[in-house]
Every structure is written in structure tokens, then in C-alpha cells.
Amino acid sequence: MSDLHRRVAETSAILERIARDFTPTVFASSLAAEDMVLTDLILKADLPIAIFSLETGRLHAETLAMIDRVKDTYDYDIALFRPDPLAVERYVTQNGLNAFYESVDMRKECCRIRKVEPLGRALAGKRAWITGQRRAQSATRAELAVQEDDLSHAMQKFNPLTDWSEENVWDYLRSNNVPYNALHDRGFPSIGCEPCTRAVQPGEDVRAGRWWWENPESKECGLHVVDGKLIRIKSVAA
């Protein structure tokens, strides 16, 4: 069995266990490459795992186009969760549209409004949630576990692609004709909001283009943070 086939078999088993033991559960998709692997596995297996995405209001057109591509390919409508418009208006009025460039605190507040609060609504009433995070993506994810206790949301959090390499991801996408974000072909291995993401240079870390003006240790948006700190709370044996 090839490395990719083994990874797919292991990940499929994890997803089946989540669907069986943690219903209702949801998958948070950023519509990037890793998330399209999980989207393909979930929808082709017809698993009872709902898929949602955070439409922050600052996404690239190419990212938004993925919503229609998923619909066209799988006949599935990804649920979209948007920020509170009044909170966005207050932030912009008080600080400016692009105040997130001014400090880490300003950037984290923007992420809180546009991502963290909508995520809370998306996870309400669920027993578990799934992400497409991988250990190899960045220093902040080096200790990522497949299953974790998410204390901030009082539920289990699963990262089924923890041990996948970037090569695994792209081998899967190409061998299965899975649609992917066009920005990946333009030097964007990691994709977030448009003003906070740039293409990376040869030899740079895959997440170097995210919040490129900050130190690597601060580069998380808050979706995977507890009490303001990035913590691998407690891994749970699968």
C-alpha cells in the first residue's frame, strides 16, 4: 500500500468514527487544498458531517468561487457564516478598514469579529468539529493531535490530516480530480483573507504569506486559540 493510500484509509476511518460517535459534528472549511481533500472524502462517502465556511467579507474572489465549484462538483451547498455587520462597522469606524496592519492586537480583534464570533455560532449545539490543519504547516501547529479537547467550545476537535504532507495533499487532489482554489497555482499555499495573505517565495514556510508582517509565533487567527493563547490543550487517543 502506498503512503497516500494508507493516509486515505486512515483518514476515512477517522471520519467514519467521528460521524458514528460524535453526531452532530461539522467540518470548518477554508476552501483551501487540505479542506478540499476532506470535502471530497466526506461527500463521496455520504457521511452525516455538515460543511461550513466563514465568509469574512474580505475573501479573495477565487476563494468565493470555490463555493460554486463545490456545488457544481458535488451538488452540495456549503453553509456560510458571516460576521455581525454592526461589529464590523464599529471596528472600521473606530480604527479604519485596514487597522489590522497596525498591531497584533488590532489584527486579532479583526479576526475575532470576522472569524471567531461567527465560528462560535457555527459550532453551537455540536459535539465536535473538524479542521484541515496539518503539523507541517507551521511552527504553531507542530504539536497538533488528531483528536483534541477543545475547552473553549466544550467539544472535541478533530484534525484528520495531522500527519499528511503537502505532497500527500496534492497527490490526492490531482489523482481524484478534486477542484481547488486557483490561488494555489499562483504561489499561495495558505489562503486567508485577501489583505492578510500574500504569495510566498521559494524556500519560505507554507504559511509565511499569512500575516507576513508579524512574527511566526503570533500567526493564528484565534480559531485555534483558548483564552488568547495558542494551546494544544489535551490530545485524546484515537
Q: Any idea which residues carry the catalytic annotation?
A: 221
- Angle of the 104-111 helix axis to the 85-95 helix axis, nearest 10: 160
Q: Is the peptide bond before 195 cis (omega within 30 degrees of 0)?
A: no
Show the cell assigned to 221: 487567527
β-pairing, 128-130 vs 79-81, is unpaired
Rg, the chain, Cα only: 17
Block residue for cell numbers 458571516: 82
Identify whether the C-beta of residue 153 lies closer than 8 Å to the C-beta of residue 123.
yes
Separation CA 176–CA 172 (nearest Å): 6
